Every structure is written in structure tokens, then in C-alpha cells.
Structure 1
Amino acid sequence: MLACSWSGGKDGCFAYWMTINDGHEIGCLLNTYRSESNRVAFHGVRSKLIVEQARSIGIPLLQIAVAGEDYESQFLAALRRLKRDGVGGIVFGDIDVKQNRDWCEHISRKAGLDAYFPLWNMDQKTILKDFLRDGFKAVIVALDSQHLKKEDLGRSVDLTWIQYIDSISKGPDGKTVTYCGENGEYHTYVYYGPIFNKPVSIKSSEIVSKQGYWLLDLEPVCTTP
């Protein structure tokens, strides 16, 4: 049995989907969020929105509040807990940033788990097209202000979005904008798809600027007791 590292975004979600389609069983999701804000790091998504995703999917969720700078030891403790519960490996949604993969493999190995990267070295544009073809729906919730515009927050990830990235090619800083935002250009929240039993109902709240990122605050329309 495997677990899936889960931030609520498209890459981890699609990695989950590819893994189960390959015949593997995923028994739970692993999510970490900042204890001081109750939000997922980088994405800025409220932790309760991750709970709503897991409820819709119908899968157990191990959610860990992390504090301070020692993220690695806290993540390692979570992986060791999964190991004790019978998990043999963990799925990650990384695509082509080797430094990220190296860290994931390192921390998984310390916990005695195998690390799986079903999206590794796939073409990012192909990933997005396949994600949409298979019926997933996601909204853009965070973006790097050096790459994309504030007005891009709240946009759907769809074919128009792919065409938009085609058209801009490079951000204001002159760096290439990758299709999946693998370099942190943008982050998403997935609210429906073939692994969900029903859509997660969400509404937009405020837009905030934090450390060079524009963040869209989403709230669940209603939560299951």
C-alpha cells in the first residue's frame, strides 16, 4: 500500500490518478500545513479545504501541522508513522526539478519507504492536457508576481490557460513560464475529477500579497460535520 504526498494541487492529484491507474493501491493522503496559519505552504490553501478533498475522494488523510524551520524532521516523523501503519511507499508529484526529487528520495529512504514519481520527466504541456482530458478541474490560487499577473488568480486550468502560457512564454523577469508551474510560477487547487465522488464547493474570498506571491483565499461553501 502507498500514500500520496498531497498539497491539494494538480500535480500531486494527477500523480495519484496515474498511480492507481497503474494498478497500485493508495491508502491515504499525507498533507502538511503551517501551524501558525492553518494553510498549506506556498499554495496558501486553508487546511480544511484539504479535508474536504479527502472526504470527497473517500480516503483517509494524515494531516500534520508543522512549525518553525525544522520541516524535515517533522515530515520524517509523519513518514515513519505511515511506515508503522503499513505503508510501503509514497507518491510525489514532482516533474523535473532534480533538487526536489533528491530531497524526497532522501527523506523517504530515511523513513524506510520507497519513493514514486509517476510524472517524472513527462512533458509539462502533455501533463496539463492529460489532466484536462481525464476530467479534472482546478483553479489557480497562488502565483509568483514576477511571472504572472494578479488578474490570473482564480482562473480555471483549462485549454485557454495552456494557450495563455503559450502566448506569454516569459514572465516580466524574462524567465520562461513553465506549463505546470514547476518552478513555483503558480499553484492550484483541484476541486473535482475522476477520483472525486462530488465537487468540492468553494468560494473566493480576498486576494493578498505575501513574499512576492499573489494568493487567492478560498473557503469551502459548506463543510461536512
Structure 2
Amino acid sequence: MNKTITPDTGNLPKHIAIIMDGNGRWAKQKGMLRAFGHENGVKSVRETVEACAKLNIAYLTLYAFSTENWNRPKLEVDALMSILMNSLKKELPTMQKNNIRLNTIGNAHMLPEKARRQLFEVIEATKENTGMTLTLALSYGSREELVSAIKEICNEVQTNKIDIATINEATVQKHLYTHNIPDADLVIRTSGEQRISNFLLWQAAYAELYFTDVLWPDFREEDLHKAIFSYQKRERRFGKTSEQLK
């Protein structure tokens, strides 16, 4: 691998989040059905997860299925759910080997029963692992997450559990799906699209964004390293000036 894109292990993002985009276009380029692209995207997931574990990245979140994805053709949705179940079962030994703990965010109750059961079986099997936390965003939409948080906070105000005057950012954070995960440091999107598509709107407020033309099924460890290298060249000011940071 080119040494110029080898990440500095002393300056790694704690939480990487990835919008895995381009499976359909990748399959279309090859004259195949979209499901073929999703199937080949699994290899990229495996390699990316293992590469992050090797770098000791603490948190990796993958945007696997959005709330809007339910509007896709039933054939494609069924294929995605099947791939999810098979992948979870197949990748469990790899997660155990790499000490990875599986987590999920989103409306899991909307998943088909078999997929939901497989998901939570793997979550249960890996709950004692102490290495990287791998979060799958499934049936996830950030706007829906924020609405849910607002409803929960309103209920707590109505039942006198909290005073409205005390509501702050920490209150909101406590009611998000990601309440036990730090905010994203680096958000990667593949396929050339430059938008975040309702993903981690609150949690990515100060994340560094990285867009690549690589379609997800072609995304490999070197591409991950390029994204991290780009992150490491940036100055994260969080509203401050460069002089203040120095």
C-alpha cells in the first residue's frame, strides 16, 4: 500500500460513520439486478469492519437501510433483508474473533421477524465484547429519531420528570438512538453523491465529511485509509479560531 495514505495511528477518528452508496449503480454497470450489487457490497462491509478493527477505531456506524428504503420495490427490499440475515449469521465468528460488539439504531420492530431475531441474537452473542462497537443503522432516519426524542422529552415534561427550563443539548442527546455512542468524527459517503440523506443529522454536526466516487462494492481498505488520511489533514476547530487551538 502507498505509504502516503497510511493513517497516523496517533490521530484517528474515534467514530467513523459510512453511507454505503452505489450498490445499484455498480450492478447496473454490469448488466445485473440491483440485488447483485447489494450481495457484493457485503465484501466491502467485511473488509471495512476488519480494517477499522485493525486500526483500533472505537466506533463504526454503517447506514445499512433507511426509513425511506422501505419505499423501494418489494423484490429489492426482500433481497436486502435476506442478505442481512445471512451476513449476520456468517459474520458472527469474525466479530467474535475481532472482539467486536454489534449494536443497532433505528426502528428494528419494522424489520421482518426472522431478520429481527437474527439481528438481536448476534447483538446478544457479542454484548460482552470490548473492542470496536459496530452499529448498523437499520430502518433508520435521523428526522424520525429527532421526532421520537422530542416526544419522549415532552412526555417527561408533562409527567413532571423534568423541568422545561432545564432542557439542553444533553437532554436531547440522552433521548437519541445513539445516546450511548459518541458523535461522529468522520462521515464517509461512497458513489460520488454529496449529501447526507437523513443520516445522523444531530450527531454529525461537527463531523468531517468525505465524499468519494468509489461505488460501495469497490470500496476497500485503501479507500478507507484515504478517507482517514484526508481527515487527519484537516483542522477541527469546533467554532474556534486556529489561533485559539494553538
Q: TM-score, normalised by structure 1?
A: 0.31
Q: Which has the higher contact order (CA 8 A, sep 6+)?
A: 2
Larger Rg: 2
Which structure shows the higher helix fraction? 2
